[in-house]
């Protein structure tokens, strides 16, 4: 369980709060507008009404006690930037800030953000890659030019096993799971041949995934 500070209870902040609540984390939410609090109160441990860019207000919050501080402000970039900078000044361990434009991302990183999330850009990228091929079922980017794809088993693999194909040795790919009508197998026998209708969850570098799975992203 972690202690999470979420600043901003708009749509993005609400989704973030709900996800952390599902994990059983303790959440403090801060927002200027009391009207935004009603929908998140069932999911948070506590809430405060106030200006997150006000040093006197934020000094009493104890931001250094939180594992993660998330700046989810989406409608006032100046306030988001000032809040991000202030959190670091007050000793925040890890600050994640929301950006809505490329230039915002650069400024946030230069002014204290440890990470920047860009929901609209990330969703656009996910949608484009997810629908770039009819064989792709899901896609997860991994830091360092790696990705995880859920795809239909390539036709050229059907009837052959991981051992036959030398998936790790020659392709440098890791099969995380194999799914079929009977469910998901996280420990698929590498000696078993792949069958038509199966899907695989595969991790690898973007270059290897493009080369061996024929993905164009």
Query: What pLDDT, in 10s, does the model give residues 52-97?
Result: 999 999 999 999 999 999 999 987 999 999 999 999 999 999 999 9
How far is 107 from 151, CA to CA, in rounded Å?
37
CATH code for the domain defined by 123-213: 3.30.70.1450
pTM of the prediction? Answer: 0.67
Q: Is the pLDDT of residue 121 over 90?
A: no
Phi-psi region of 166 (alpha: psi -120 to 50; beta: other; left: phi over 0): left
User: Which tokens go with 145?
Assistant: 């030019």
Q: pLDDT at position 9, please?
A: 94
Q: Is the pLDDT of residue 200 over 90?
A: yes
Q: pLDDT at position 49, please?
A: 96
Query: What pLDDT, in 10s, does the model give residues 34-45?
Result: 999 989 999 999
CATH code for the domain defined by 3-117: 3.40.50.720
How far is 126 from 139, CA to CA, in rounded Å?
7
Q: Is the pLDDT of residue 143 over 80?
A: no
Backbone angles phi, psi at 20, to 5 degrees: -65, -35
* Mean pLDDT value across residues 15-44: 93
Domain spans of the chain, in order of start: 3-117, 123-213
Q: pLDDT at position 65, please?
A: 95
How far is 126 from 189, CA to CA, in rounded Å?
31
Compare 217 and 103 and report the one with higher pLDDT. 103
* Mean pLDDT value across residues 189-212: 94
Q: pLDDT at position 127, please?
A: 80
């Amino acid at each position: 369980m972690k202690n999470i500070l979420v600043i901003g209870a708009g749509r993005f902040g609400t989704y973030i709060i709900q996800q952390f609540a599902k994990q059983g984390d303790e959440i403090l939410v801060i927002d200027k507008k009391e009207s935004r609090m009603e929908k998140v109160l069932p999911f948070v441990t506590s809430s405060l009404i106030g200006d997150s860019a006000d040093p006197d207000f934020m000094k009493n919050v104890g931001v250094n006690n939180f594992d993660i501080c998330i700046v989810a402000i989406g409608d006032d970039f100046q306030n988001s930037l000032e809040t991000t900078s202030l959190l670091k000044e007050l000793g925040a361990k890890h600050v994640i800030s929301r950006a809505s434009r490329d230039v915002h991302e650069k400024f946030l990183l230069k002014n204290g953000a440890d990470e920047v999330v860009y929901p609209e850009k990330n969703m656009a990228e996910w949608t484009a890659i997810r629908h770039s091929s009819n064989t792709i079922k899901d896609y997860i980017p991994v830091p360092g030019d790696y990705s995880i794809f859920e795809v239909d088993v390539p036709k050229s693999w059907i009837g052959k096993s991981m051992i036959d194909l030398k998936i790790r040795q020659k392709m440098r790919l890791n099969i995380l799971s194999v799914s079929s009508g009977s469910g998901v197998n996280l420990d698929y026998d590498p000696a078993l041949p792949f069958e038509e209708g199966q899907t695989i969850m595969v991790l690898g570098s973007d270059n290897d995934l493009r080369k061996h799975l024929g993905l164009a992203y």
